Chain A
Amino acid sequence: RKEVEQDPGPFNVPEGATVAFNCTYSNSASQSFFWYRQDCRKEPKLLMSVYSSGNEDGRFTAQLNRASQYISLLIRDSKLSDSATYLCVVRNAGNNRKLIWGLGTSLAVNP
């Protein structure tokens, strides 16, 4: 089982739709969680961190469920510019605090 798993998609949604992605992680001691966004042939960029109580940034909402070991990303009122790959990232606990990256979920927002 991979340490971080995501549905690769693609998710095809119309403009204005609400779409949600989930990501599961295997290490129950993982400490930090992030969503990064990567456009085609570009570098990953931090979208938002995920906090235990859940957090919102404009149209984007991130939630963490430690009991079930998953995080989610909800995008409301999706825009054409939201089309990208969304990478789920988990930071290990302990001395080695490197980030573990999911393979990403592809989103295409259509006019």
Chain B
Amino acid sequence: DAGVIQSPRHEVTEMGQEVTLRCKPISGHNSLFWYRQTMMRGLELLIYFNNNVPIDDSGMPEDRFSAKMPNASFSTLKIQPSEPRDSAVYFCASSAGTNGGQPQHFGDGTRLSIL
């Protein structure tokens, strides 16, 4: 079975550029989560969707970050303009159900470096 698929696996770009991260959740999963992980702050939830609808975006750092989920099989996280402090590993995860009680399945992550 295909797991959560993220692309790209690695991204290196200069500050000021637009960065788009992509995620395909596990088929049939109703919830999708975007996380950022750094050594200092660990895993931080940025935003999550239930049935394609954003439920909580309080973790989105600022207006430079935006996320969309146009359908059940695709989501994007966009950073524009990017800054060096955005460098981190960005994970997408999905889970069945919408009550938060189901385990989350993570993609391999996107390692983002902003120079």
Nearest chain-B residue to A97 (Cβ)?
B100
> How far apart sit A45 and B100, CA to CA, in the bound complex (Å)?
16
Nearest chain-B residue to A87 (Cβ)?
B43
Interface membership of chain A positions 88-105, coded 1 if the CB is closer than 8 angstroms to chain B and 0 otherwise: 000100001111011110
Question: Are B108 and A34 in contact, with the CB atoms below 8 A?
Answer: no
Assuming the contacts A43-B106, A98-B56, asked whether A104 and B42 have C-beta atoms less than 8 A apart, the reply is yes
Q: Which of A46, A49, A101 contacts B43 (CB 8 A)?
A: A101
B71 adjacent to chain A (CB < 8 Å): no
A14 adjacent to chain B (CB < 8 Å): no
Question: Are B103 and A91 in contact, with the CB atoms below 8 A?
Answer: no
B96 adjacent to chain A (CB < 8 Å): no
Nearest chain-B residue to A103 (Cβ)?
B42
> How far apart sit A34 and B103, CA to CA, in the bound complex (Å)?
9
Find chain A residues with CB under 8 A from B56 CB: 96, 98
> How far apart sit A99 and B109, CA to CA, in the bound complex (Å)?
18
CB distance from A42 to the nearest CB of B (A): 8
Residues facing A in B81-115 (CB within 8 A) are 91, 99-101, 103-109
Question: Are A98 and B104 in contact, with the CB atoms below 8 A?
Answer: no
> How far apart sit A42 and B43, CA to CA, in the bound complex (Å)?
13
B15 adjacent to chain A (CB < 8 Å): no
Nearest chain-A residue to B41 (Cβ)?
A103
Binding site for B on A (CB under 8 A): 32, 34, 42-46, 49, 87, 91, 96-99, 101-104
| A and B contact pairs by CB, cutoff 8 A, 11 listed | A43-B106, A43-B108, A43-B109, A44-B91, A45-B106, A96-B56, A98-B48, A99-B45, A99-B104, A101-B43, A101-B44
Binding site for A on B (CB under 8 A): 41-45, 48, 55-56, 91, 99-101, 103-109
Instruction: Please give me the 6 A-B residue pairs with the lowest Cβ-Cβ distance, nearest first.
Output: A97-B100, A43-B106, A103-B42, A101-B43, A46-B103, A91-B100
